[in-house]
Amino acid sequence: MTDTDGTWAAWTFSADPGAVRAARSAVRDQLRLWDLDSVGDLAALLVSELVTNALQHATAPIGVRLLRPSGDDGVLRVEVSDPLADLPRVRAARPEDEDGRGLQLLASASRRWGTRPGVRGKTVWFELTLPG
């Protein structure tokens, strides 16, 4: 779903493994429509990390929202929401660990990121600086 003036797009995905692929695809397609496909692969990668995290811990729908830059802002904001109130924590993954690196990747690849509690659950967000 997008708004009428094209400043945001949002989707809700069921809490099943297919949500990761569907979220990546939706993000890439929308960024292509906005002529922001230069950050499409990175945005899709980070969204897939956050949706995967949500799937591991939540059992209800997962929301993804893109906020298009306005004016000379030059920053794309991406939000992933789930119904679990627990905020994620960055942890130090050991070399032999199979997981635990998603938030480290998010922190290193994005301009900035954060979390906020919601009425039901939480939102993890990140920003990507657009080229030019």
Instruction: Please tell me the predicted confidence (pLDDT) of residue 73.
Output: 76
Instruction: Please tell me the predicted confidence (pLDDT) of residue 44.
Output: 97
Q: Within a 13 Å sphere around the CA of 78, how many CA atoms are in the beta-carbon half?
A: 29
In this prediction, the residues of the chain whose per-residue pLDDT falls under 70 are: 1-5, 71-72, 87-102
Instruction: Please tell me the predicted confidence (pLDDT) of residue 85.
Output: 78
Instruction: Please tell me the predicted confidence (pLDDT) of residue 89.
Output: 63
Q: Is 2 inside a domain boundary?
A: no
Q: In what order do the strands lie in the sheet with 8-13?
A: 8-13, 62-67, 75-82, 122-129, 112-117
Instruction: Please tell me the predicted confidence (pLDDT) of residue 94.
Output: 54
- The enclosing domain of 40 has a CATH number of 3.30.565.10
Q: What is the number of structural domains in the chain?
A: 1
Q: Is 1 inside a domain boundary?
A: no
Q: Is 76 inside a domain boundary?
A: yes
Q: Is 30 inside a domain boundary?
A: yes
Q: Is 25 inside a domain boundary?
A: yes
Q: Is 3 inside a domain boundary?
A: no
Q: What pLDDT, in 10s, does the model give residues 76-91?
A: 999 999 998 776 665 5
Instruction: Please tell me the predicted confidence (pLDDT) of residue 87.
Output: 61
Q: Is 75 inside a domain boundary?
A: yes
Containing structural domain, residue 20: 8-129
